[in-house]
A and B are shown apart, each in its own frame.
Chain A
Amino acid sequence: MNVIEIENLSKTFRGKRRALVQALQSMSLTIDQGETFGFLGPNGAGKSTTIKIIMGLIRPTTGIARLMGMDASHSAARAKVGFLPENPAFYDFLTAEEYLRFVARIFGLSGKALNQQLERVLSLLDLQEARRRPIRGYSKGMVQRLGLAQALIHDPEVLILDEPMSGLDPVGRALVKQVLLELRSQGKTIFFSTHITSDVEVICDRVGVIVKGKMQAIERVEDVLLRQTSGYDIHVCHPRTGLHKTVFSEAKTLPEIIVSSRDEGFEVIKLEPRRQNLESFFLDIVKSNHE
């Protein structure tokens, strides 16, 4: 089942002096159930615009966005979705606990189930201590974690997260990354935008790169990393002399080098692919669009 479907989506805004700004151009994308999709793009590429259309905050100029098979503008489409907006802000006169209860009740939770979910997300996002403090006193990182907590309170099938790592310190980032990996292992569908390629590398099944409102590439993360492999580092050791050395080999010559090392009396102890990361894949796409 396609959890998110975007067909031929375009969005044009009126900018300064009423000039037309094309934020999205004929974008199409489908996200399957259980998939973790990383949405990469430089600032102003159209990531947040896409997410806002999926969440029904703005309407597309042309095309259609569907969420759980329903038109994204219908409120019922969001019933099984957890959403974290970019730079989130919540009723700051409420405490975290009050806000989470407010969100949970809107999703139809009550009584024991609500309390259980509340405790679960508060401890998951490390907000137990601050739960009874007004949100207006929270740091940016705490608000971000609260944002993720409110997105998870109803145990949604789908998570749509706009820059979930934004404003987090290294500890917070590690925590959120861990939470996303756990959600992935539970089979949740996750769609998140970011410009941190290393997060996509670790968390995502697929990656989409958007530049200047156009989807430039949609690839499996695994495929990108494999394709980016330039060769292998072969770690060998001589059993008698104890001599260790590392030999680089291109993929083509790998079997021959392994055989010749053995002939010289070395044992292969580790074989490491030497590859460029997702960042170079992303930067290549961005550069090719600027040229």
Chain B
Amino acid sequence: MWQVFRANLKGIFRDRVFLGILVAATIFPLIPSVSSLSMRQVTELSITLSFSLLTFILLLLAIFLGGTSLWKDIERRYTFSIAGLPLTRGQYLLGKFAAIAVFLLLVSLVLGLLLLMTVYVTSILHPPIRPVVWGNLVLAVLFHCLKYILLVSFTFLFSTVSTSFFLPIFGTIAVFFVGTASQQVFDFLQSPSGQKLPVLLQQIATGLYYIVPNFTAFDLNVNAIYALDVPLNGIGLTLLYFIVYLVIILSCASFLFARRELN
């Protein structure tokens, strides 16, 4: 697994497309100037824009790296050569996944540093009313990264059963939107308006809420922007949720891939 991880990580670093996506990070230095146009809450806006850029880059990388990784290996017949080695398909799959996960972590680290520098410059130029809690910013970057790693696991799950890149890419985009909205839907169901919906619909929506990922749990933007305390038990629960969900998705992906016929 370690060897697959190493080779694939090397492959990602040598892929010009993904390095091209990273070029979008050159927008970071423009954020302080753009934020200053708002006249008030400049630092807060700077944090918001920085997180938007960071998550946009991570989303592109997660979908295109994850969605094409396994599919490309099958399409270009690399799997025939790898499958002849004394590796289980699970080890191969996990090695590939780990390479993307580590790449996203490294990208998050670099983008996170750029984000901190951007916010620092803005806070010097336009001192905010509320202090910037740097720990919150770091935590928010980390949890965004975890969210996209979880999203990558879905690209792998879809790739194991798909013969083209459509399902891995568009299926994952759908999961992203559903996962981002699931908490809001659940909150609506708990509201008086939601209670008026047919019971069957409420039960289906509640069932889906527990099945689809809840990406809102990974969103600490508000805590980072407004220097709000981050509840430790919430962090712990989200981490646990991430691990359990990831293990389930990757186990399903490994199970399906082990049964896939490599024609």
Contact = CB atoms under 8 A, between A and B. Distances in A.
B80 A85 contact: yes
A88 B3 contact: no
Interface residues of A, number: 33
Given A52-B262, A59-B261, A93-B10, A81 B84 contact: yes
Interface string B3-17: 100110011001100
Given A58-B262, A59-B261, A94-B10, A78 B85 contact: yes
A87 B80 CA distance: 10
Chain B, interface SS category? loop
B84 A83 contact: yes
Interface in B212-263: 259, 261-263
B83 interface: yes
A89 B11 contact: no
A142 interface: no
Nearest to B83: A57
Scoring B10, B83, B88, B259 by chain A CB atoms within 10 A of each residue's CB, the highest score goes to B83
Interface stretch (A101-109, A191-199, A248-256): A101-109
B81 A147 contact: yes
B20 interface: no
B196 interface: no
Interface string A88-117: 111111100010001101110000000000
A75 interface: yes
Contact of A55 (B11, B84, B87, B259): B84
A89 B83 contact: no
A105 B3 CA distance: 7
B77 A85 contact: yes
Contacts of A106: 3, 85-87
B78 interface: yes
A56 interface: yes
A102 B81 CA distance: 12
Given A57-B83, A81-B84, A106-B85, A89 B76 contact: yes
Interface in A50-100: 52, 55-59, 75-76, 78-79, 81, 83, 85-94, 98
Nearest to B90: A75
Given A58-B261, A75-B88, A91 B7 contact: yes
Contacts of B3: 102, 105-106
Interface in B62-102: 76-78, 80-81, 83-88, 91
Given A93-B10, A102-B3, A76 B86 contact: yes
Contact of A57 (B80, B87, B91, B259): B80
A10 interface: no
Interface in A250-289: none
A150 B14 CA distance: 22
Interface of A: 13, 52, 55-59, 75-76, 78-79, 81, 83, 85-94, 98, 102-103, 105-107, 147, 150-151, 160
Interface of B: 3, 6-7, 10-11, 14-15, 76-78, 80-81, 83-88, 91, 259, 261-263
20 contacts: A55-B84, A56-B83, A57-B83, A58-B263, A59-B259, A75-B88, A75-B91, A78-B85, A78-B86, A79-B86, A81-B84, A83-B84, A85-B84, A88-B80, A89-B77, A89-B78, A90-B78, A91-B7, A93-B11, A102-B7
Given A78-B85, A87-B77, 14 more contacts: A57-B83, A58-B261, A83-B85, A88-B80, A89-B78, A89-B81, A91-B7, A93-B14, A93-B15, A98-B10, A107-B86, A147-B81, A151-B84, A160-B84
